[in-house]
A and B are shown apart, each in its own frame.
Chain A
Amino acid sequence: MSSLKLTKYNIGRAFIYLILLFFAFLYLAPLYVMFTTSLKDIEEIRSGNLMALPIDPTFYAWKKAWSSACTGSECNGLAPYFWNSVRIVVPAVIISTIVGAFNGYVLAKWKFKGSEFLFGALLFGCFIPFQVILLPMAKLLGMLGLANTVTGLVLVHVIYGVAFTTLFFRNYYVGIPTELVRAAKLDGAGFFAIFRHVFIPLSAPIFVVTIIWQFTQIWNDFLFGVVYSGSGTQPITVALNNLVNTSVGGKEYNVDMAAAIIAALPTLAVYVIAGKYFVRGLTAGAVKG
């Protein structure tokens, strides 16, 4: 007997699912509109329904957004800026993660006089709004001769990111028993050997968390990108803004949509590939045996 009875329980359930479906639709609708619009041609967009499926799907808009759309006076599409972003994000993520791991290791397991204060001061860095450091940072980059360079942007993101990465690693390492450090000390391992042989192998989940976090933050950054980049070193977020604001003739919504999706794809990809580790890493402390 598996007939569905309309009990009070089932009605309540149905109501909950209905609400969930409604909100899921609400959240997914913009993505749906973006994706379908990017596959339509401009005539169809003007005449058709916003929610309708494309009649004759075309990748014209994607090609144009990638390689020939105008971003200001240049018309090379997003491609060069995509690679700019990659050149900024990859070193910035790697450096800030390594520095954060090391900071976290020291602050969690090699406490020294004032280390708690130092950690508190570093935490403060997480709460400093971007706008506050714009001018002093511009001055610093100028003094270092790094204004308008990719290296300069990497430096800015590393400095800004270290507060977060340190916090992540420090809190993760605090959960690793100090007796492990003591045992390794007695086994003859020094500061670096303990880090390498005992802590790094335990750190996979927190590395994933930190990398996803940093990747997303830096890839999506607009403000630092627009302020500290030169015309040839702009990241993709800035280029996307320029692309959308440059109109030659009519507005090409399909190209704008395709460009926006291209700009968002890498962070989506990172989350899809490493997402399950992300969730696992965030809850690692709770389930460690």
Chain B
Amino acid sequence: MRVTQKLSYDTYIKNMLRQQDEIYRLHKQLSSQKKVNAPSDDPVNAHNLLTSKTLLSRFEQFDRNIGYGKSHLGMAEQALDSAKDVIIRLQELAVTAASGTSTADTRNNIKAEVDILFDELVSVGNTNYDGRYIFSGFESGTPAFDQTGAYQGDANVQSIRVSLSSSVAIGTNGGEVFSGTSGGIDIMAAVAAFSTALGANDSAGIQTALGDLETSFNQVSNAVSDIGGRVSRLNAAEKDISVYSFELKSTISGIEDVDMAELVTDLKAGEVAMEAALASAGRIFQLSIFDYL
């Protein structure tokens, strides 16, 4: 091949530019620490990257949902625990009132405390968290129980998504737990009846109350353990999410992040090639026929 000066100069310029472009590309990766900055950098993995990022953002949302769920269920559990305490005290009072030594006077005294405990039970039922009555079903703007202990909410329970395929109820329906709207005993009515029986010095009524209070205690206890079950479901879901999220993050990092060792080696190689090109160019350009003619 016939090689002219223009040809060799042009070729050197082109190669030099190519080397510089390569070094620039590596520098860009080094400073951004990302080897995929646009889908065209790695079209095969771009889709994977995008779906992984979407999935990761959903998992982060599930994680937040679980957080809400746990705090709501925690509030309900706390309230039901104090309801249990109230019922235990009521049971103690019922046992005292039921004993043969109780007179109409002592029963009247007990009635006074029972009425206070009734109010306390109503106020537990009306527990308000973050502006919401937690036992009112969807009608969280309305107190769950009125002064007489009648349930004012609806029969629903709020649920939220905790994974791609499942959702968990994060509330407890006050009607179900306290008023027995879906089978079971109306605790409020039972306590009110107990108070009435005490006022009327009605031994048979007090005996009935004793039985009803036991059933009530069990009803609330069951609700508490139900909450415990759901909390452990949330914990399990949370654990799954952290495992999946970790997997997703490592997938994303595998596609997107630079391998420092590889990058630095490539950069070094690029610099060496560039130096070699410069050196050979310098030597060739010194050659001139006019030095010999």
Instruction: Tell whether A pairs with B.
Output: no
